[in-house]
Chain A
Amino acid sequence: MVKYILKRCLQALPVLFGATFLVYGLVFLQPGDPIRALCGQHCPNEAGLDIIRARYNLDKPFILQYLLYMKNLLLGDFGTTFSGRSVSDIIATSMPNTIHLGLIAIAFEIILGVGIGIIVGIRRGSFFDSSILVITLILISIPTFVLGFVCQLVFGMNLGIVPPTVGSSTDFEHMYMPALILATGSIASICRLTRNSIQDNSYADHVRTSYAKGLPRYQVTLRHIFRNSMIPVVTYIGADLGALMGGAVLTETIFNIQGIGNQLYAAIQRGEGTTVVSIITLFVIIFVVTNIVVDILYAVLDPRIRYGK
């Protein structure tokens, strides 16, 4: 097992380098001069701009810029923004908000997605089952930004039920609507996955054998249908963490949450290569780590899978 985890970590290295290199290249290719844009209309002399460029290594060729950046990154230095703030400081202040948002979203996924999925899985073919199938299909097809803006307008502005933006207050009351919107697509997918998984398992031979053993229905359902059905669902929820990160960029921008996604969006607009790449690197690390955790979890749930043997 340890050997397997080590192997997976090593495999993550090329992913890390590849992803950072790509993102760095994309930011570099962005048209316009970020330093000039920084000063706006009152531009100082060219010599002054050059000094700033030199400080951010922007005067050097692309490859060298990237290598210098990676060197600092490996030493634990995420670099500084054009305004002189250290990127690690930005991450430290904005990350908790994103984690908070993500945790609420995952809680919704589990409670609503798995919960409703189980109910319709058991009562397959009912009216409730069919309606859930239609509703989830609609939810999967609505893009987050449409749903976000519509909900903000209707529930936040017109009806005034929920605060329309989050801003600096990050309590549950402010956060639950953005989190719900962030989780919507996943809730629908998880709901369908759970439903299908439960239905498939209900017809398994060993389930019939469990009934034949004399087990009452609730025991068969709990021990022999649920447990087996949760294997693909858990895997999906784990892998979905990465998608949540991406979705957070949109949700945080719409609802003005001071999270990492919002910072990433701002940094892209400012053309701040170092900040963008640092945040993306963080995303990649989180993605790789959650994937390893999911694989381990998978082996715990399903004894047939034993890695590295």
Chain B
Amino acid sequence: MALLEVNDLHVTFSSGSSKEKDIEAVAGISFSIEEGERVAIVGESGSGKSTTAHALINLLPGTGKITSGSIKFNSSYYCENGETQAEKAFVALRGSGIGLVPQDPMSNLNPVWKIGFQVRETLRANGFEGSKSDVNKRVIEVLESAGLENAKDLLNQFPHEFSGGMRQRVLIAIGLASNPKLLIADEPTSALDVTVQKVILDHLEKLTKELGTAMLFITHDLGLAADRSDKIIVMYKGQIVESGSSVEVLKNPQHPYTKRLISAAPSLSCRRMESAKIRKESVEDDQSPIIVVDSLTKEFALRGKREKFKAVDNVSFTVNRSKTLAIVGESGSGKSTIANMLLNLLEPSSGTIQFNGVDVKEIAKNKKTLKNFRRLMQPVFQNPYGSLDPLLSIGSAIEEPLKIHKVGTREERADNVRKLLDMVQLPENLIQRFPSELSGGQRQRVAIARALALSPDLIILDEAVSALDVLVQQQILTLLNDLQAQLGLTYLFITHDLAVVRLIADDVIVMQHGKIVERGTTDDVFNNPTEEYTINLLNSIPGKDIL
């Protein structure tokens, strides 16, 4: 008999007003999980996968409510024909019956309580009897089994003193502390670097196998799902469109959505995207590099410490015209610091940057040349939600750089904005709309249009597609690639995602701890990586064997 049986589950978020329609986030799904089985729910944001997970333990946010269907766990009904059990039953179920490892390690631990306390209260809440020292012994035990060494010394520390990976381990320890029969892992590693991600997932897998815990794995990453589970459930707009064994679903997708998802997923076996448009580079003979960086170093003073922190350490590279150079590395490797120095938003501690053969330091001395320089180099940042002013309409946001640089008359500018929207494949009627009305992908297109407004030579894309769902990500990458061919743009592409690099970059630089550890053409680096770190990075990419 199955451990968890979900039958025709419907979850609705009421809008609270009679004018707007209620939103059905989960529209009649049924699935089951056997004891010790590992099931993954895959889907893009808004597909209802997290809502399903929260419905199982009756922790739906806001106005969310189960409207019909049933949930049976461990042969007792927690929800029958849309009637949920009393809160008391769920308090008993949570923690000891179903554990949860939440998504974002940064916000899921209470910042004002010590780590030890937060694990201890979990044990106590789930009926751990015994003296204070017994509890502490068990706390240390669960923390150490989650892979935290010297857990004894960590008990009295606060969450902010931990790195993201360590916090996620604490959350795993909490989720498994009371030996639940089922563990829900809701995107447990999407906020972490790939190498950390791999280590943590490996550990989670080992632990749940040892304990015989069944796992419900929620993710947007098909590769990850395939790597880590026996069964895959694909969700789309609140419904299950496909389910089956992992290999079966990936090798033999039936539903068109799954097929699209699989073909959109960037993987290492992909090649550099070929654009339908003819590349402009053949026309332009100018082969001089657009940017030459020579022994660039950036040091930051640390509070209360004598020695300085070297964020970027003696880095030299060139960016070729009309090509894409990717800088790859994990968080803290110094890649964004380089971007900020190139944009002249941060001053290098030493070393030089040449733009079109002129030292940027010289350019920055004169306000006029600096303004002109800024026009030729434009950034697109990671978070499409944070990089657009919420009070500016889409039209004004794209027009603003033109206004600042006094390009054209009012009518010409309006015309230009329409052309730019067209270029990034957005409808013209967005001009009057505001960022909050747009989806993440649309916002990122607006950010690209804004960067293109001044027809720059170089665009610096700092994790510009990292926050997007795979399908949207693929669309944006295609767009960028077409624009490059069309306009002869040069991209500096900063990312932690190697699979994306494979699709868009001509040359790659791999960074670690502020230093360049490997460089070369994309094909070289991917086919014959020489440095251990690069090999490690490549091996950490989920789904590389299957996709």
Interface residues of A (CB under 8 A from B): 203-217, 219, 223-224, 227-228, 231, 301-304, 309
Q: How far is the CB of A219 from chain B (nearest CB, A)?
A: 7
Contacts of A209 in B (CB 8 A): 100, 102, 108-109, 171, 174
Contact (Cβ within 8 A) B107 A219: no
Contact (Cβ within 8 A) B102 A210: no
A209 to B409, CA, bound (A): 55
* 29 CB < 8 A contacts A-B: A205-B104, A206-B111, A207-B110, A208-B61, A208-B102, A209-B171, A210-B110, A211-B59, A213-B94, A213-B125, A214-B94, A214-B95, A214-B96, A215-B91, A215-B95, A215-B121, A215-B125, A216-B91, A216-B125, A217-B91, A219-B125, A227-B113, A228-B111, A228-B112, A231-B112, A302-B111, A302-B112, A304-B158, A304-B160
A226 to B48, CA, bound (A): 31
Contacts of B125 in A (CB 8 A): 213-216, 219
Near A by CB (< 8 A), chain B positions 343-368 give none
A208 to B121, CA, bound (A): 15
Contacts of A216 in B (CB 8 A): 91, 125
Given contacts A211-B59, A219-B125, 14 further A-B contacts (CB under 8 A): A203-B61, A205-B104, A207-B110, A208-B108, A214-B92, A214-B125, A215-B121, A215-B122, A217-B87, A224-B113, A231-B112, A302-B112, A303-B158, A303-B160
Contact (Cβ within 8 A) A212 B95: yes
Q: How far is the CB of A254 from chain B (nearest CB, A)?
A: 41
Q: How far is the CB of A207 from chain B (nearest CB, A)?
A: 8
A215 to B122, CA, bound (A): 7
Contact (Cβ within 8 A) A223 B108: no
Any A CB within 8 A of the CB of B57: yes
Any A CB within 8 A of the CB of B304: yes
Contact (Cβ within 8 A) A213 B160: no
A203 to B96, CA, bound (A): 23
Any A CB within 8 A of the CB of B442: no
Contact (Cβ within 8 A) A224 B59: no
A212-B100, A303-B158, A304-B158 as given contacts; A206 in contact with B121, CB under 8 Å:
no
Q: Pick from A212, A227, A303: contact of B59, CB below 8 A.
A: A212
Q: How far is the CB of B216 from chain A (nearest CB, A)?
A: 13
Q: Pick from B92, B100, B121, B178: contact of A223, CB below 8 A.
A: B121
A208 to B113, CA, bound (A): 15
Contacts of B102 in A (CB 8 A): 205, 208-209, 212
Contact (Cβ within 8 A) A206 B107: yes
Contact (Cβ within 8 A) B109 A206: yes
Of A203, A205, A217, most B-chain CB atoms within 10 Å: A205
Contacts of B91 in A (CB 8 A): 214-217
A203-B61, A205-B102, A303-B158 as given contacts; A214 in contact with B122, CB under 8 Å:
yes
A217 to B88, CA, bound (A): 9
A214 to B126, CA, bound (A): 6
Contacts of B406 in A (CB 8 A): none
Contacts of B171 in A (CB 8 A): 209
A304 to B112, CA, bound (A): 8
Contact (Cβ within 8 A) A206 B108: yes
Interface residues of B (CB under 8 A from A): 57, 59, 61, 87, 91-96, 99-100, 102, 104, 107-113, 121-122, 125-126, 158, 160, 171, 174, 177-178, 303-304
Contact (Cβ within 8 A) A205 B94: no
Contacts of A203 in B (CB 8 A): 61
Q: How far is the CB of B53 from chain A (nearest CB, A)?
A: 10
A212 to B111, CA, bound (A): 17
Contact (Cβ within 8 A) B112 A303: yes
Contacts of B87 in A (CB 8 A): 217
A210 to B117, CA, bound (A): 12
A219-B121, A303-B158, A304-B160 as given contacts; A211 in contact with B94, CB under 8 Å:
yes
Contacts of A207 in B (CB 8 A): 110
A204 to B121, CA, bound (A): 18
Contact (Cβ within 8 A) A208 B59: yes
Contacts of A224 in B (CB 8 A): 110, 113
A216 to B303, CA, bound (A): 42
- Considering the complex of A and B, which 8 residue pairs feature the smallest CB-CB distances, nearest first? A214-B95, A212-B100, A205-B107, A214-B94, A213-B122, A303-B158, A206-B110, A214-B125
Q: Which residue of A lies closest to B186 (CB)?
A: A212
A93 to B100, CA, bound (A): 62
Contact (Cβ within 8 A) A213 B61: no
Contacts of B94 in A (CB 8 A): 211-214
Q: How far is the CB of B183 from chain A (nearest CB, A)?
A: 11
Q: How far is the CB of B401 from chain A (nearest CB, A)?
A: 36
A204 to B107, CA, bound (A): 8
Contact (Cβ within 8 A) A213 B174: yes
Contacts of B57 in A (CB 8 A): 211-212
A303 to B112, CA, bound (A): 6
Contacts of A214 in B (CB 8 A): 91-96, 122, 125-126, 178
Q: Which residue of A lies closest to B57 (CB)?
A: A212
Q: Pick from B99, B112, B304: contact of A301, CB below 8 A.
A: B112
A203 to B64, CA, bound (A): 14
A205-B104, A213-B121, A215-B121 as given contacts; A303 in contact with B95, CB under 8 Å:
no
Q: How far is the CB of A150 from chain B (nearest CB, A)?
A: 39
Q: Which residue of A lies closest to B58 (CB)?
A: A211
Contact (Cβ within 8 A) A309 B304: yes
Contacts of A213 in B (CB 8 A): 94-95, 100, 121-122, 125-126, 174, 177
A214 to B87, CA, bound (A): 11
Q: How far is the CB of B284 from chain A (nearest CB, A)?
A: 50
Q: Which residue of B lies closest to A213 (CB)?
A: B122
Contact (Cβ within 8 A) A309 B303: yes
Contacts of A215 in B (CB 8 A): 91, 95, 121-122, 125
Contacts of A204 in B (CB 8 A): 107
A37 to B112, CA, bound (A): 60
Contacts of B104 in A (CB 8 A): 205
Contact (Cβ within 8 A) B113 A223: yes
A207 to B160, CA, bound (A): 17
Q: How far is the CB of A291 from chain B (nearest CB, A)?
A: 22
A223 to B114, CA, bound (A): 12
A210 to B111, CA, bound (A): 13
Contacts of A304 in B (CB 8 A): 111, 158, 160
Contacts of B304 in A (CB 8 A): 309
Q: Which residue of B lies closest to A216 (CB)?
A: B91
Q: How far is the CB of B213 from chain A (nearest CB, A)?
A: 15
